Amino acid sequence: MAQQTNDRIDAFRAGFSGQALTAGHAEYDKSRSLWNGAIDRKPLLIAHCNSAAQVAEAIRFGRAEGLQIAVRGGGHNYAGNSCCDDGLMIHLGTMNSVVVDPVKRRAVCGGGATWGDLDAATQAHGLATPGGFISHTGIGGLTLGGGIGWLSKMAGLSCDNLVAAEVVTADSQILRACADENPDLFWALRGGGGNFGVVTSFEFALHPVGPMLNLGLFFYGLETGSEALKFSRDFIKTLPPDVNGFLAIGLSAPPAPFVPSAYHFRPGHGLLVVGFGSAEAHQAVAAQVRGAMTPLFEFVTPIPYVALQQMFNESATWGSLGYEKALYLDELTDAAIAVIGEHVPKKTSPLSFCPTFTLTGAYRTPADGDTAFGGSRGARYIFNIEAATADRETYEADRTWVRNFWDAMRPHATGSGGYVNFMVDADEDRVRASYGDAKYRRLAAIKARYDPDNIFRLNVNIKPAQ
C-alpha cells in the first residue's frame, strides 16, 4: 500500500508544474518548518504552489489519495495548523506578490504574502491597511480570522478592509468572492477562518498612514503594577481618535539602548501610545502620562510605520517555542487587575507576556452580523497570555503558567469564547461560543456548501451542517 502511494506521489511530482517535495529533498525541512518551534510535523508531500491552478491541482491529488490537507501561508499559527504529519502541505510562500493601486487605494496580495511584504509595498505610497503586530505573520491566516493591528482604532480589522478574494474550494473550483460575487463565501471569509478554501489572493482597501508616526512607551515596575494598570485603563479611554493605546502586561524590559541597564529584563507593564497626528499633539499626550504617574523609563520618539509593525519581532523570533490563550474583557476591572498581579510574577521566560489589545473606534463600528468575525464588537480588550522561549523546559513551565493564568481570568471574561486567531486549544464548544449560535449555524451552512466533507479542517474548525 505504501509503495502504491509513493508511486502515485512520484507520478504527481512528475506532472506537477509547481515544486513538490518529499522527505530527503534538500528543501524539505526548511519548507515544513513553522514559526512555532514547538511544532515538528512531517508531511508526506509538500506542494509549493505559484498559482490558483496549481493549488487546485494539489487539492485534487490530496483528496484522491485521502490525505489530510494543511495550508501554509506565513506559517505563524501557534497551533501549527499549517503543517501535518503524513499528509499534504499546500505551501503558498512564493505567492507573495503585492500590487498597489495608489489612486484607488487598493492592494492585491498573494496568499503567501506577509505583513512585512504588504507594509513595504503600501508604505511606498503612504498607505496601509490594518493588521499584524509581528511583520513576518502571514496576511492569510490573520485576515481570515479577523486581524487586529495598530490601525484598528482608525480603520477596523483586516477582514473589515477585505474587498475581494480569489479562493480555491474543496472541489478545486477557483472562485472570486466579493460583495456581488459569491457573497455568502465573501461573508464567511471575513472572520470564519480557513474553513472554506485556500485563498490565493486578497484585495484590501488602503488608508493614508505615515510614513512617520509617533510612539510613546512608558514602563512601570511590578511594585506599582496595579496602580499603573488602573491608570492606563482609564487614560486610554481619554485618547483622541488619532491616538491608539496598547498594554504590554507582564513585559520584561528589553536590553535596548533606551532602557537603563539596571532595568534590563525586569518584569513590569508597558503602556504604549501611538499617535497618527502631529508630533506636538503626541508630546502633549506624553506629558499627560508623565504628569499622572512617573514611569521607570520611557521612550518617546518619531517612528516609521514599518518599524512600528516590526517592534515586537524580537519577542517572536522564528523557531521560538510558543503557546497562547486569550479571552475578551468588557472591562479591565480592579478584580481582573488583581489576578494579573498574582500571576504575572510567576512566568519564567522574559519573552512571555500578555499583549493586550484595546478595542475602540472603528473596531466597534460594524454590526455583529456584517462579517463572520468570531468576536465581540462590544468588548474593550483582547487579553492574550503568551508563552515564548527558546528551550523546552521553560516552554513547559510557561505553558502551564498560561493555562493557570487563563483559568483564573475566565470569571472576568466576556463569555467562554475567544478571538479565533489566538485559539490553540479549539474544542467545538469554545469555537461555537466564540461565534455565537446564530453566526455559527450560518457558517456551518456555508461550510456545507463549499466543503461538505470538511477537507479543510486543520483550523479553528467549523463543521459542515448536516
**So where are the chain's domains?**
2-91, 98-209+440-450, 212-422
Distance of alpha carbon 363 from its chain centroid, rounded? 15
CATH number of 2-91: 3.30.43.10
**Could you tell me where the beta strands, DSSP code E, fall in 253-360?**
267-275, 297-304, 321-329, 354-358
The total of other beta-carbon atoms located within 10 Å of residue 28's CB is 16
pLDDT of residue 108: 98
The whole-model pTM stands at 0.93
The answer to whether the CB of 274 falls within 8 A of the CB of 215 is: yes
Q: How far apart are CA 5 and CA 11, in angstroms?
A: 10
pLDDT of residue 17: 87
Residue 6 is inside which H or E element, if any?
helix 2-15
pLDDT of residue 275: 95
- The residue length of the chain stands at 466
Q: How far apart are CA 439 and CA 433, in angstroms?
A: 10
Longest dimension (CA), the chain: 73
CATH number of 212-422: 3.40.462.20
Residue 88 is inside which H or E element, if any?
strand 88-91
Peptide bond into 43 cis (omega under 30): no
CA atoms within 13 A on the CB side of 369: 6
The angle subtended at Cα 200 by Cα 128 and Cα 175, nearest 5°, is 115
Distance of alpha carbon 153 from its chain centroid, rounded? 16
pLDDT of residue 1: 44
The class (CATH top level) of 98-209+440-450 is alpha beta
Distance of alpha carbon 91 from its chain centroid, rounded? 18
Instruction: Cell 523557531: give the residue.
Output: 319
Instruction: Cell 474544542: give the residue.
Output: 427
- Which residues of the chain carry a pLDDT beneath 50? 1
